[in-house]
Structure 1
């Protein structure tokens, strides 16, 4: 697959100057890069397409606000990232609504799959060395702040972060090995 490049500085400058043809060329030239980044970051292909489109609309409307032509890629990536995060938060908010009494319950199959997944995660956490497990449980499961975890375990913040990173990596590797 050929790596596409971002539009050049001349085209960006012309678009910033208000040239409609340059703006159209800039948007179409940026589309493959924006879409690829959105696909790598968003949860679903539909969200990725929507985030890419939103980013290109913002590019079209606000190209004059771009301070340096070399900053186009980072500006677009920031817009896409923010849009993907906004969509993920909205999806979490929509799914965190408690079930009403008249809503159908999950199927027995779904409940079994969820319990199997929970069991797999619990086994991965249980397999961690005790020092990593304590940090992971306190930080990610109980929700304590990094400073509180470090203080409670008598660690420096850097040591706590290092153990947390190793624990998360080990759990991820264990989960990948089971799929």
Structure 2
């Protein structure tokens, strides 16, 4: 069984004063807490490991700047939180489309807006549970695990709702994309 307590204040004080053995013990003693916190906050296991490593590196480099020995946990958790947020921002920037430098015609822009409006209307008509999953997964780009965790679902339940939502959107868009076919049978 692992020790679930943070390193004591004497060790933190010695580390703040530059004792290299104390710094090493402080970093290794903080690791389980930092890692566990990162896994609850970051979008993926890889991001959590990166955030935990970054927090421990900062702890190692800047332990001398910590003002109060008792503030270690909140200081390190703030570092982890900031690192997870930084990674999330980087991920969302990568998901943004690269702007097309070609100027669209007014007709192209009107068609694009009509299509976006159709898609938005179909998504808005979905049941709330399906709409939330679809938006978080496909629009916001969250991982399946994160969507499931945020919504309090199992991954299997999240995948089922996502599949139903995508199938409904696909079917509704296909049904509304050919209005002339629907009317052609009633024109007699």
| Corresponding residue for residue 77 of structure 2 | 77
Query: TM-score when scaled to structure 1?
Result: 0.57
Structure 1 residue 95, shift from structure 2 partner: 1.2
Q: How far, CA to CA, are the matches of 2:33 and 2:125 in structure 1?
A: 35
The gaps in structure 2 that reach 5 residues or longer are 101-118, 130-150, 162-188
Structure 1 residue 98, shift from structure 2 partner: 3.4
Q: How far, CA to CA, are the matches of 1:122 and 1:61 in structure 2?
A: 51
| Corresponding residue for residue 123 of structure 1 | 127
Structure 1 residue 119, shift from structure 2 partner: 4.4
| Corresponding residue for residue 31 of structure 2 | 31
Closer/same/farther in 2, CA of residues 54 and 123 from structure 1, 3 Å limit: same
| Corresponding residue for residue 94 of structure 1 | 94
Query: TM-score when scaled to structure 2?
Result: 0.55
- Residues 121-176 of structure 1: per-residue CA shift (max 9 Å, x gap): 84218xxxxxxxxxxxxxxxxxxxxxxxxxxxxxxxxxxxxxxxxxxxxxx579x7
- Residues 53-105 of structure 1: per-residue CA shift (max 9 Å, x gap): 000000001001111111100000000000000000000001113387xxxxx
| Corresponding residue for residue 57 of structure 2 | 57
Runs (4+) of structure 1 moved beyond 3 Å?
118-122, 176-179
Closer/same/farther in 2, CA of residues 96 and 121 from structure 1, 3 Å limit: farther
Over the aligned positions, Cα root-mean-square deviation in angstroms equals: 3.2
Closer/same/farther in 2, CA of residues 88 and 65 from structure 1, 3 Å limit: same
Which structure is larger by alpha-carbon Rg, 1 or 2? 2
Give the paired residue count: 119
The gaps in structure 1 that reach 5 residues or longer are 101-114, 126-171
Alignment of 1:45 onto 2:45: yes
| Corresponding residue for residue 19 of structure 2 | 19
| Corresponding residue for residue 112 of structure 1 | none
Partner-residue secondary structure (3-state), 1:6: coil
